[in-house]
Structure 1
């Protein structure tokens, strides 16, 4: 099975690199990433793909394997090189050692399982918490844990917002609002506010908070700096279901982001190459207010 996956990875990598690409594209994501890069005058010059088998089974002449693919893309833009990384869970099927199916196991988009539609502010809304948001520490945390899980925190099935909250806390953002789950932003023992772990609730909190962790919405992504937050509504239906942290900038000054669920590092902010992307996607850009 390992040699079959190795052969699959070699073919796939060749689809990403311009001078090795064949006319026949069997991995559509490669074409999407090339088109996305070209829009910003960037080029994928080298790709490394590593596989990890999660589960495998065999029935008659069929072999099925669930595996994790770790991609590293060396991207060149205006003479500057940087590395983007991404994790995919995939499933492949072989018949008599011939590939018959290979597709991504798409993560479940985060949804809000709670009944509230708004996030209320807490009574101490006029109180100013004294803190300094350390953007470097927030980014360092995002770099350390982008593809793993800090055992000091609860791990969620849809972990993107929990991860961003951890990054913000690592940067010194103060919690407040306990024990009201629909107020403030906090994690306490085995309990947490909606805004800590639910994408749409964090978006509401960042829009409405007047003390503690606060943010200012800006109009365009180039106005963000490292340590800021981007919220994603993939379907454009008003319910936000993903969040990322800005961890760098490309050569054009546009954000590169780290995230969980779609575990990614230094990924271009627009997510055009994501399987969750739709033409109706909407974004919110939040600059964390330094105090």
Structure 2
């Protein structure tokens, strides 16, 4: 049974990157976003793996992860974007009835109540920020999880915090979860793991890890951070780290939750995207530069 289901999935994945791929909403959104920046997907490779199978209401449902690699061309510039999607394919009498991406609930962390305390007497701590180490860490763990840290269901901010720390950004505030930015002994500050809390911290910190908000994505450098408010309601849902630039100097980012690497910063191809999206862009301060 498992082998037959895997063959059904392999046929589905083959269609995903073959003649039927233009019917997939994710590919349609991505192609539309690409055309705005004079880019094109030259080729897409996909590998799928079943995570769960169930029969319900007369349908056979396959829950699966698909690892996508897109070869992207911008003029004479080529790069590879990768992403991991969680999807569900429903079959009736061995014929595909529906295939859909399982949306991410970025609101999970909104249930966690927290306050961010300001430092009354901040003590400056100079540090050098190694942007190459940030990128190296982001690339190593973009589709994996460092066992030295807790893994979260909504893991984007935890991943970005790890990347920033790998670059040399100092922790402070332990053991107060509402203060500073830190991770220690399987415990962590709200700013380490909650998207909105990290945005607030970067916006207001005057000691330890510090950042400067910029208005244009071209101003960002490798190792900088972008925060996303998908609904435009003032509560930020998602964070990414800059790991590259495209042919026009626009940021490409890595992220967790829906794991991705070298993704175009604006997220217009995401199922979470809405026309109300708001961004906050932060340049991490480097005292050594």
1:6: Cα distance to partner?
1.8
Moved over 6 A (4+): none
Cα displacement string for residues 63-120 of structure 1 (whole angstroms, at most 9, x for unaligned residues): 221100111000000211100001111111111110012111112114333333x522
Task: Give the counterpart of 2:111 among 92, 110, 113.
Answer: 113
Q: Report the counterpart of residue 164 of structure 2 in structure 1.
A: 168
Q: Report the counterpart of residue 261 of structure 1 in structure 2.
A: 257
Q: Report the counterpart of residue 158 of structure 1 in structure 2.
A: 154
Structure 2, gaps ≥5 residues long? none
Cα displacement string for residues 148-168 of structure 1 (whole angstroms, at most 9, x for unaligned residues): 100000111111000000001
Is the CA contact 1:162–1:197 (under 8 Å) kept in the aligned structure 2?
Answer: yes
Mapped to 1, the partners of 2:281 and 2:126 lie a distance apart of 24
Task: Please state whether the residue corresponding to 1:112 is helix, strand or coil.
Answer: helix
Q: Tell whether 2:259 aligns with 1:290.
A: no
Task: Give the counterpart of 1:278 among 274, 281, 286.
Answer: 274
1:182: Cα distance to partner?
1.3
Q: Out of 1-10 and 266-275, give the one that drifted further.
A: 1-10
Task: Please state whether the residue corresponding to 2:23 is helix, strand or coil.
Answer: coil
Task: Give the counterpart of 1:43 among 33, 40, 44.
Answer: 40
What is the TM-score normalised by the length of structure 1? 0.93
Task: Give the counterpart of 2:96 among 90, 96, 99.
Answer: 99
Mapped to 1, the partners of 2:286 and 2:270 lie a distance apart of 31
**Count of paired positions:** 282
Q: Tell whether 2:255 aligns with 1:251.
A: no
Q: Tell whether 2:201 aligns with 1:205.
A: yes
1:247: Cα distance to partner?
0.1
Q: Out of 182-191 and 37-46, give the one that drifted further.
A: 182-191
What is the TM-score normalised by the length of structure 2? 0.94
Mapped to 1, the partners of 2:219 and 2:138 lie a distance apart of 20
Q: Out of 51-60 and 279-288, give the one that drifted further.
A: 51-60
Within 5 Å, which residues of 2 pair with 1:48-127?
A: 48-58=45-55, 62-110=59-107, 111-116=109-114, 118-125=115-122, 127=123
Cα displacement string for residues 204-230 of structure 1 (whole angstroms, at most 9, x for unaligned residues): 000000011000000011100100000
Is the CA contact 2:149–2:186 (under 8 Å) kept in the aligned structure 1?
Answer: no
Mapped to 2, the partners of 1:2 and 1:217 lie a distance apart of 47
Mapped to 1, the partners of 2:55 and 2:274 lie a distance apart of 35
Is the CA contact 1:122–1:177 (under 8 Å) kept in the aligned structure 2?
Answer: no
